[in-house]
């Protein structure tokens, strides 16, 4: 067996680093889903009436929907009645400073290397940590509030800014959009809310860490980001989950609204959820709906994602380019190893004139991983001079994995230009040979090449995340990667 | 919701009426195949747009028309057909000529090498039943495809081409399918079987024509078997009536070191669905699929290609170009499927579309499905319009706008046309593009 093969196997056999369960007393609803459960969630969170009605409407619609089957992923059916739809850590009192946070919880974050304190001191990142479903601590809130920025947990926004929530909730991803979005709309427990007023450039990267902890709780969070005219915000999302044998369902909804002219939202994700063991048992089902609407002229939404975790990833961060000259971007690295499956990509819907979009997707498959890019570029009739460029590259490590590319291009305007390119290949023996000649070990060479392969995407990530993403990939590709 | 299955009954009745006639040709085994294909069709029904493979190709209009199998022999003066074939250098006696799905007479086989055989399928079914049935219906699966099922149920007349081992047929072989509707909308289910044995070589040209503005449905299936080291050059020219429906499936089975190339040209019909499925079933195969289509008015032209790289060391190249004008609607779905052990596969696929009108629509889906790691696979798709700089350049040289557009459109198409190696056919295509398919510049035709 060659070194390259053995390092690839090593990589494929890597253990999940973040697998530990935090013993925190949780306030959990019994498993099952019906209208009473939804009422209970709503009541627990002391929600206004409109939200309960909204949830119930979504639930009623959901019951009529069927699970989508078109994605290129295979898994046993999910029993939606075996899931507990609410799990909040106790004690649940209002927290003003980190010292009030459950120390065990803080220790969990430290294990993850994302200590709130450290973050606070060093990086100037305001972290809104979502532990299971309830947001436990929000940092830098006061500082942001001075500038008029609202950055808080979703539940808090519902209490304090119901008008904004009512105005924008579901305006990009309607509750009836798809099976999992409907489910999320019915039962979402918490999430993040962010509002950037006119003319404000958010001075720091806003960040949330999601962590799924209690066993058998689906995580259904909801993120809503609104950017007004001439504003800018960069938002980071990081996800991890402890090691669990049973598959856990994660169905989140993220809505971005670049409401005013020149508004810009940059949304970055590093997803490192438990991918299941090397036999393909367990792991997170990550069925997420993410969508942004560029409503203002010259507004811009940029999605960057690094997907290394989850047993199954099913997500398509999309942009609806309504405003003239608006811009949509999608940069993605998806890594599948063992028996992981990823069906991910984007949708770029061009409605306004002179709209532009860029798609760069890098897929890496190893072990028995199956990696699919699926994307839609749609140029509507009025989108004169719309421009799209897509590039989808796949790297195959090992002969049991698969890489698939399914772009959908639809053009209804004769002045539009759409380009799509895709390549699939493995790391060239000549490339490795070249590095070896220069005294670089096979493992390092593979690391180098993979990092080079992903560079276009990594450089879109904010600094702090780029380092983490590179580390993550490095760990995954430990001593190995090729 | 349109009930797509209203039209189904007509076909089932057709079969009942025709069954006695069809059963006279071929063995009982073949007739059993017809019957099981028919029941499969009955189960499948016509596909609705909710099926992924038919998402952009609505069949509603097709199922509304009561197509009738045309009478067994139509009294047709060949002059009308001859006139259309003449520019391509085809004389009716030199081609297998099917009029409304029935072959008028055997062709003049002068110039064919000994043992090689080009004849109507019905004749081949009587003369070489065993040999024909060894291949017929073995490759084109009807399990998931209702139109193939329907064609298989009506296996009767069509064309049969057999090239024996180590034989080279230099003259192109012409297979011509002519349809007309004589008042009532008609349907034909022509079936073609092409068997090329080891190290043989041939050029085959399939031509689909019809009387202009007649309403009819052509539901054709062709099976091509390439033996080891065989080389087949296949051309398809579809210039049906602008009111016609055209569904065509080409199923190719390739053996070791064989070479297959297809050049498909589509201009006619109100709705055309062309499928090419190529299975590279042994090492060293090479497959080339080129295509050019032009849709204007309210035409919809749908090209589905699927290349199965089942074994290592095969290569495939695909280039499809589309020109859309008026309310033309183009669909391209090209899939390259590399099986787990098909290492060293080299596959390249390109789809380019030229949009000449704001009312034109294109759905392009180039797809890669790859299960082997040591491969080189790429695909690319571009959608755009005539280059403004090039137009300007021509205009500065005193060339009128319409003519400049026409020239540039021709230049776009020419790339594919020049790959045609049958001189007269190529010249005819050039002429078609220079004179007939002038862009309307957004005006609907």
Every domain of chain A and the residues it spans: 22-418
Which residues in chain B are contacts of A2 at CB distance < 8 A? none
Shortest Cα distance, chain B CAs vs residue A310, angstroms: 21
Is the Cβ of B442 closer than 8 Å to some Cβ of chain A? yes
pLDDT at position B69: 82
Q: Which pLDDT band holds residue A12 (cuts at 50, 70, 90)? A: very low
Highest mean pLDDT among A3-17, A25-39, B199-213: B199-213
Contact A412 B358 (CB under 8 A): yes
Which residues in chain B are contacts of A399 at CB distance < 8 A? 340, 343, 372-374
The neighbouring-strand residues paired with A403 are A371, B370
Model confidence at A64: pLDDT above 60: yes
Which residues in chain A are contacts of B382 at CB distance < 8 A? 417-420
The Cα-based distances of B267 to B28, B119, B246, B294, B329 in angstroms read 39, 27, 11, 5, 12
Of the partner residues A402, A415, A426, the one whose CB lies closest to the CB of residue B374:
A426
| Mean per-residue pLDDT, B296-310 | 94
pLDDT at position A49: 85
Residue of B52, B295, B370, B375 best to disrupt the A interface, most CBs of A under 10 A:
B370
The C-alpha torsion from A34 through A38 and A44 to A50, rounded to 10°, is -160
ipTM over 0.85: no
Asked if residue B233 is part of any domain, the answer here is: yes
Which residues in chain A are contacts of B337 at CB distance < 8 A? none
Contact A412 B361 (CB under 8 A): yes
pLDDT at position A94: 44
Q: Which pLDDT band holds residue A84 (cuts at 50, 70, 90)? A: confident
Percent pLDDT > 90 in chain B is 56
Interface of A with B in 247-286 (CB under 8 A): none
Is the Cβ of A424 closer than 8 Å to some Cβ of chain B? yes
Asked if residue B93 is part of any domain, the answer here is: yes
Which residues in chain B are contacts of A381 at CB distance < 8 A? 358
Residues 6+ apart with CB under 8 A from B192: B121, B158, B159, B160, B161, B175, B206, B220, B221, B222, B223
Shortest Cα distance, chain B CAs vs residue A424, angstroms: 5
Among chain B residues, CA nearest to A368: B371
Among chain A residues, CA nearest to B388: A415
Which residues in chain A are contacts of B355 at CB distance < 8 A? 411, 413-414, 416
Contact (CB, 8 A) for B320 and B303? yes
pLDDT at position A91: 41
Contact A422 B340 (CB under 8 A): no
* Tens digit of each residue's pLDDT (9 = 90 or more) over B396-415: 999 998 889 988 999 999 99
| Mean per-residue pLDDT, A84-99 | 54
pLDDT at position B45: 87
Contact B361 A410 (CB under 8 A): yes
The neighbouring-strand residues paired with B305 are B276, B334
Scanning the structure block, which residue is given the tokens 């499936």? Answer: B249
Model confidence at B130: pLDDT above 60: yes
Contact (CB, 8 A) for A305 and A331? yes
Percent pLDDT > 90 in chain A is 23
Which range marks the domain in which residue B65 is found?
Answer: 8-282
Asked if residue B314 is part of any domain, the answer here is: no
Of the partner residues B355, B368, B385, the one whose CB lies closest to the CB of residue A424:
B368
Is the Cβ of A389 closer than 8 Å to some Cβ of chain B? no
Number of domains into which chain B is organized: 1
pLDDT at position A89: 53
Strand spans (E) along B12-112? 68-69, 95-99, 102-103
Where is average pLDDT lowest: A5-14, A237-246, B316-325?
A: A5-14
Distance CA B176, CA B195 (A): 18
* Enclosing H/E stretch for A194: strand A190-196
| Mean per-residue pLDDT, A108-135 | 50
Is the Cβ of A432 closer than 8 Å to some Cβ of chain B? no
Q: Which residue has the higher pLDDT, A36 or B296?
A: B296
pLDDT at position B91: 82
* Tens digit of each residue's pLDDT (9 = 90 or more) over A289-341: 999 999 999 999 999 988 887 788 888 999 999 999 999 999 998 888 888 88
Contact (CB, 8 A) for A176 and A61? yes
Among chain A residues, CA nearest to B323: A414
Among chain A residues, CA nearest to B381: A420
Mean pLDDT of the residues in chain A: 78
């Amino acid at each position: 067996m060659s070194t390259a093969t053995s390092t690839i196997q090593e990589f494929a056999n890597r253990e999940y680093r973040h697998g530990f369960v935090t013993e925190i007393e949780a306030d959990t609803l019994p498993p099952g889903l019906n209208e009473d459960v939804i009422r209970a969630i709503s009541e627990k969170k002391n929600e206004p009436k409109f939200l309960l009605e909204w949830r119930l409407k979504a639930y009623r619609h959901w019951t009529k929907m069927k699970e989508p089957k078109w994605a290129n992923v295979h898994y046993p059916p999910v029993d939606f009645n075996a899931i507990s739809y609410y799990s909040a850590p106790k004690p649940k009192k209002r927290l003003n400073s980190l010292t009030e946070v459950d120390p065990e919880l803080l220790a969990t974050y430290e294990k993850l290397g994302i200590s709130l304190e450290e973050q606070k001191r060093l990086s100037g990142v305001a972290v809104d940590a979502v532990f299971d479903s309830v947001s436990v601590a929000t940092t830098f809130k006061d500082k942001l509030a001075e500038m008029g920025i609202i950055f808080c947990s979703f539940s808090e926004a519902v209490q304090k800014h119901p008008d904004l929530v009512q105005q924008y909730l579901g305006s990009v991803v309607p509750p009836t959009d798809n099976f999992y979005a409907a489910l999320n709309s019915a039962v979402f427990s918490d999430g993040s809310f962010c509002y950037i007023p006119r003319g404000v450039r958010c001075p720091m990267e806003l960040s949330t860490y999601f962590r799924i902890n209690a066993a058998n709780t689906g995580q259904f969070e909801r993120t809503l980001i609104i950017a007004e005219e001439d504003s800018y915000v960069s938002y980071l999302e990081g996800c991890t989950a402890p090691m669990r044998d049973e598959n856990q369902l994660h169905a989140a909804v993220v809505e971005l609204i670049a409401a005013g002219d020149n508004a810009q939202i940059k949304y970055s994700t590093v997803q490192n959820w438990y991918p299941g063991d090397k036999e393909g048992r367990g792991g997170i089902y990550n069925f997420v709906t993410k969508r942004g609407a560029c409503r203002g002229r010259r507004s811009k939404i940029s999605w960057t994602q690094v997907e290394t975790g989850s047993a199954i990833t099913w997500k398509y961060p999309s942009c609806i380019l309504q405003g003239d000259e608006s811009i949509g971007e999608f940069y993605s690295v998806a890594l599948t190893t063992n028996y992981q499956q990823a069906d991910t990509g984007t949708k770029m819907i061009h409605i306004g004139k002179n709209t532009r979009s860029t798609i760069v997707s890098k897929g890496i498959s190893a072990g028995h991983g199956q990696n699919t890019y699926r994307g839609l570029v749609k140029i509507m009739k009025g989108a004169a001079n719309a421009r799209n460029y897509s590039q989808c590259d796949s790297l195959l490590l090992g002969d049991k994995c698969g890489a698939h590319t399914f772009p959908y291009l639809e053009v209804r305007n004769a002045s539009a230009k759409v380009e799509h390119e895709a390549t699939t290949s493995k790391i060239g023996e000549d490339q490795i040979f070249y590095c070896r000649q220069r005294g670089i070990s096979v493992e390092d060479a593979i690391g180098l090449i993979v990092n080079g392969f992903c560079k276009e995407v990594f450089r879109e990530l904010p600094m702090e995340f780029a380092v983490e993403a590179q580390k993550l990939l490095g760990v995954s590709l430990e001593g190995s990667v090729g | 919701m349109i009930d797509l299955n209203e039209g189904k009954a007509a076909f089932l009745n057709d079969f009942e009426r025709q069954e006695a006639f069809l059963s006279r040709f071929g063995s009982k085994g073949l007739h059993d195949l017809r019957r099981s294909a028919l029941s499969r069709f009955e189960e499948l029904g016509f596909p609705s747009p909710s099926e992924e493979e038919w998402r952009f190709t609505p069949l509603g209009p097709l199922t509304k028309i009561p197509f009738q199998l045309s009478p067994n022999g139509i009294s047709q003066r060949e002059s009308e057909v001859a006139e259309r074939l003449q520019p391509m250098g085809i004389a009716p006696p030199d081609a297998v000529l099917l009029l409304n799905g029935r072959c008028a007479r055997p062709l003049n086989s002068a110039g064919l090498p000994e043992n090689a055989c080009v004849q109507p399928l019905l004749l081949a079914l009587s003369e070489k039943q065993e040999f024909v049935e060894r291949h017929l219906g073995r490759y084109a699966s009807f399990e998931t495809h209702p139109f193939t099922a329907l064609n298989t149920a009506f296996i009767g007349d069509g064309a049969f081409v057999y090239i024996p081992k180590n034989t080279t047929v230099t003259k192109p072989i012409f297979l011509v399918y002519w349809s007309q509707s004589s008042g009532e909308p008609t349907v034909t289910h022509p079936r073609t079987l092409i068997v090329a044995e080891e190290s043989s070589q041939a050029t085959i040209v399939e031509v689909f024509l019809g009387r202009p503005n007649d309403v009819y449905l052509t539901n054709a299936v062709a099976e091509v078997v390439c033996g080891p080291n065989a080389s087949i050059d296949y051309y398809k020219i579809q210039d049906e009536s602008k009111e016609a429906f055209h569904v065509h499936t080409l199923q190719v089975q390739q053996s070791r070191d064989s070479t297959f190339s297809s050049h498909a040209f589509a201009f006619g019909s109100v709705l055309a669905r062309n499928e090419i499925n190529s299975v590279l079933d042994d090492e060293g195969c090479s497959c080339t699929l080129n295509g050019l289509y032009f849709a204007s008015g309210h035409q919809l032209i749908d090209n589905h290609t699927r290349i199965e790289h089942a074994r290592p060391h095969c290569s495939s190249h695909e280039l499809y170009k589309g020109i859309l004008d008026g309310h033309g609607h183009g669909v391209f779905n090209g899939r390259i499927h590399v099986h787990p052990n098909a290492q060293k596969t080299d596959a390249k696929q390109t789809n380019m579309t030229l949009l000449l009108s704001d009312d034109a629509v294109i759905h392009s889906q180039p797809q890669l499905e790859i299960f082997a790691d040591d491969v080189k696979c790429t695909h690319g798709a571009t959608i755009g319009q005539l280059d403004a700089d090039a137009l300007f350049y021509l205009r500065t040289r005193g060339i009128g706008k319409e003519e400049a557009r026409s020239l540039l459109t021709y230049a776009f198409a020419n790339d594919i046309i020049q790959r045609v190696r049958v001189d007269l056919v190529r010249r005819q295509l050039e002429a078609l593009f220079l004179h007939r398919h002038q862009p309307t510049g957004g005006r609907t035709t």
